[in-house]
Amino acid sequence: MAATTRGGPSRTNRGRHNPPAPSRPRHPKTGAPGERVLRVAILVVVLYAALAFRCFYLQIVRHPEFLEQARTNREKSLPLPAQRGVLFDRSGTLLVRNEPAYDIELDPNMWQASATAMDTPAMRQEQAIVGLEMCLPGVDVRGAVAKNPPTLVSSRNGKRRYRIIPVARQVDAAVGERVKAMSLLGVGTPGTSRRRAVDGNLAAHVLGFTGRDGTGLDGLEGGMDASLKGESGRLAAEFDTRGREIPGTVRTRQSARQGQDIVLTLDSDLQHAVQRSLAAACEKSHAAGGTAIVLDPKTGDILALANCPTYNVNDRARTSPECRMNRAVTAPFEPGSTLKVITAAAALEEHLVSASSGFYCAGRMKVGRRSIGCAHGDQHGSESLNDVIKNSCN
């Protein structure tokens, strides 16, 4: 007979089964798969539409603006220097000429164009400096850049313009060609010319010299600068990143007007002889300086004009201002024996004497309270007017 209990589970099942844990409620999925695909498609279409609008805005709407900026980046207006007139002596011998030369400069604007993270403006600047240091061993390239660092001169329409950095002026043509051949980015080599005397020691005070910009500063170079310098022209064209003119992009070209050549009254052979004689006379008499002028008595033309000391116009930086002084026209002198010629000419013109009139020189004559004698105590005795001038008799 089976036994049963009331009021609880059977002993055999006690402690074997735990009540089941309540399950988390599940949220129903919202929207069908087709609806989600539609939303993604709409988002993609919107993004592509925005991209297409941006491309249209940049390439169509702002195309003229960007085109103008690109043209401005390439376009430059450069001066076309006029050829300075040259100087000849009376026989057509060339005294002063123009030699081809180059200016070396840096253009920071070239370093800014199309720069990238792997090719920055600073890296481009360093490459240009190193290249120039190889070609210009006597020039402090880094010093020139430190003295004139890239300086922003204007900023318009998002376009920045930097000032050109001068490095060297009027370098030899061979050196300039070597720099030009390296095609360094941002290095400009505009052609120019420099003034050179054929013989730097000949008639230095008469010819004078020019500055680095070609402006006459002294002598005939300064006095006749307006006739010699001519008038510069202008070139407006587009240039590539190497500073080379792009063919077919010339907008305006105004040709330069060349300076006038000038023929002097100087005789170069006579000038050489006078300079040698003057230097020898100053050395013999231990004079601090001297001047000699040779005139054509019929026309008054200056055939030779020399000063001692003199200097080399091609190397004037190493000479003192005293050597560069033209004593013939700037230094005060006592008339001295030069007045004898004027006195004799006046007497001849008034027919008071003739060239053969006789005079007697005792070596000294008392005039008032003063006793005037000839130089070095000379006593010339009987002499004609011609002899008086020849002997410089007082």
Q: For 235-289, what is each residue's pLDDT tens digit?
A: 888 777 666 777 877 778 888 899 999 999 999 999 999 999 999 999 998 998 9
Q: Do 120 and 245 fall into the same domain?
A: yes
pLDDT at 2 over 50: no
CA nearest neighbour of 292 among 330, 247, 340, 328: 328
Q: Do 162 and 255 fall into the same domain?
A: yes
**What is the tally of structural domains in the chain?**
2
Computed over its alpha carbons, how large is the radius of gyration of the chain?
46
Q: How far apart are CA 315 and CA 375, in angstroms?
A: 39
CA nearest neighbour of 107 among 182, 214, 184: 184
Instruction: Say if 300 falls within a structural domain.
Output: no
Instruction: Say if 151 falls within a structural domain.
Output: yes
Mean pLDDT for the stretch of residues 181-189: 90
Residue 63: burial class (beta carbons within 10 Å; 0-12, 13-18, 19+): exposed
Domain boundary among 263, 288, 309: 263
Within 10 A of 303 (CB to CB), how many other CB atoms are there?
19
CA nearest neighbour of 96 among 192, 176, 256, 203: 203
| Mean pLDDT of the chain, nearest integer | 85
State the pLDDT confidence band at 63, using cuts at 50, 70 and 90.
confident
Strand partners, 253: 235
Q: Do 242 and 383 fall into the same domain?
A: no
Q: Do 247 and 391 fall into the same domain?
A: no
Q: How far apart are CA 323 and CA 249, in angstroms?
A: 51
Apex 291 CA angle, 289 and 296, nearest 5: 170
pLDDT score for 14 = 52
Mean pLDDT for the stretch of residues 163-178: 90
pLDDT score for 76 = 74
Q: How far apart are CA 318 and CA 120, in angstroms?
A: 43
Q: Which helix (H) or strand (E) holds 94?
A: strand 94-106
State the pLDDT confidence band at 210, using cuts at 50, 70 and 90.
very high
Q: Do 142 and 222 fall into the same domain?
A: yes
Q: Do 348 and 256 fall into the same domain?
A: no
Give the largest Cα separation in the chain, rounded.
Answer: 197
Mean pLDDT for the stretch of residues 98-120: 85
Tens of pLDDT, residue by residue over 10-60, are 454 555 556 666 666 555 555 567 788 888 888 888 898 889 888 888 888
Tokens found for residue 127? 């490459």
* Domain harbouring 119, CATH code: 3.90.1310.10
The alpha helices in the chain, defined as continuous H runs, are: 33-56, 63-74, 108-112, 121-135, 141-147, 173-182, 204-207, 219-223, 225-228, 268-284, 321-324, 327-330, 338-349, 385-391
Count Cα neighbours of 201 within 13 Å in the Cβ-side half-sphere: 9
Q: How far apart are CA 294 and CA 177, in angstroms?
A: 45
Tokens found for residue 59? 């390439």
Instruction: Say if 21 falls within a structural domain.
Output: no
Q: How far apart are CA 361 and CA 378, in angstroms?
A: 9
Buried b / exposed e over 282-301, threshold 16 CB at 10 Å, is beeeeeeebbbebeeeeeee
pLDDT score for 28 = 53
For residue 338, give its domain range.
334-394
Q: Do 120 and 252 fall into the same domain?
A: yes
Domain boundary among 263, 287, 320: 263
Distances (CA, A) of 390 to 72, 300, 369, 384: 76, 21, 28, 10
239-242-247-249 Cα dihedral, nearest 10 degrees: -10
Domain boundary among 263, 290, 321: 263
Q: Do 223 and 109 fall into the same domain?
A: yes
Contact 307, 327 (CB under 8 A): yes
Instruction: Say if 285 falls within a structural domain.
Output: no
pLDDT at 1 over 50: no
Instruction: Say if 348 falls within a structural domain.
Output: yes
State the pLDDT confidence band at 85, using cuts at 50, 70 and 90.
very high
Q: Do 135 and 243 fall into the same domain?
A: yes
What residues act catalytically?
337
Residue that is written with structure tokens 């401005």 in the block: 72
Instruction: Say if 302 falls within a structural domain.
Output: no
State the pLDDT confidence band at 318, using cuts at 50, 70 and 90.
confident
Q: In sequence order, what are the residues at sequence separation of 6 or more whose Cβ sits closer than 8 angstroms to the Cβ of residue 126?
A: none
Q: Do 205 and 109 fall into the same domain?
A: yes
Contact 50, 137 (CB under 8 A): no
Tokens found for residue 212? 């680095």
Phi, psi at 96, each rounded to 5°: -135, 135
Apex 110 CA angle, 106 and 111, nearest 5: 90
Instruction: Say if 39 falls within a structural domain.
Output: no
Q: Do 223 and 343 fall into the same domain?
A: no
Q: How far apart are CA 190 and CA 77, in angstroms?
A: 12
Tens of pLDDT, residue by residue over 328-345, are 988 887 778 888 889 999
Strands 358-361 and 381-384: antiparallel
pTM for this structure?
A: 0.62
Instruction: Say if 381 falls within a structural domain.
Output: yes
Q: Do 90 and 236 fall into the same domain?
A: yes
